[in-house]
Structure 1
């Protein structure tokens, strides 16, 4: 009596018989399983392989806090005070909008700071 072979098993067996799994990239090499201590190793590895930036996967409030931490150094390349003010006004507008988004009541609130535009412009001038 022959054992039961599912449709998928049959397709795999037939592909093996045709040699479609021969000479695959990475064949015979150990798998890179990343760090045992990092549960997200696989997604980080996939993002690196695909050339993706992880910043887009962060919650908006975390991205805003990172952006604020980069001020005023991130403004160094801007050549005009009007350009600096536009960037900072845009940042503050996004912070205010983020504060209006409903939050999960089970987690502690996390907010991004508003920036003092005049103080930041003064720091930009010093750069």
Structure 2
């Protein structure tokens, strides 16, 4: 499409004409995903910032406030500790999340309060041992 817009022709009309002609030639017929919805979650309500949220997720940015993201990370850490293969790994996971929780407790970021305190490593290890014994 190297053709230039002729002088005196409305730009929108010229673009529409180019698109119609390309469609008539079948240039849009074999595009990947033609006739299918855009990939991603189907939501019941339209979110005009869907593409921003998807880009942020792809780039590793959180759309949650820092404290809420840490709450989620803490839940994930406890689950990882429960599924850990050894006591050493359980201790490492819990100690790492405790460092992050303490950081937020002593220098809170903006947003809602964290509402967490560091986990008792020995208690998490005890629960891990009990679950292992039940298997």
Indicate conservation of the 8 Å contact 2:66/2:109, yes or no: no
> Normalising by the residue count of structure 1, what TM-score does the alignment of the two structures yield?
0.57
Distance 2:91 2:36 in 1: 53
Deviation at 1:85, TM superposition (A): 1.2
| 1:17-59 CA distance string (max 9 Å, x none) | 45585313454x3756943435378449957xxx959885434
Distance 1:55 1:45 in 2: 9
Deviation at 1:88, TM superposition (A): 0.8
Deviation at 1:123, TM superposition (A): 0.7
Alignment CA distance shift 1:90-1:26 (3 Å): closer
Alignment CA distance shift 1:65-1:40 (3 Å): farther
Corresponding position: 1:110 with 2:117: no
> Normalising by the residue count of structure 2, what TM-score does the alignment of the two structures yield?
0.55
Indicate conservation of the 8 Å contact 2:101/2:116, yes or no: yes
Unaligned runs of 5+ in 1: none
Q: Give the RMSD, CA atoms, in angstroms.
A: 4.2
**What number of residue pairs does the alignment pair up?**
117
Alignment CA distance shift 1:84-1:57 (3 Å): same
Unaligned runs of 5+ in 2: 1-7
Bigger RCO of structures 1 and 2 (CA < 8 A, at least 6 apart) = 1
- In the alignment, which residue of structure 2 is the partner of 1:22? 28
Corresponding position: 1:5 with 2:11: yes
Indicate conservation of the 8 Å contact 1:62/1:112, yes or no: no
Distance 2:93 2:100 in 1: 11
Deviation at 1:111, TM superposition (A): 3.9
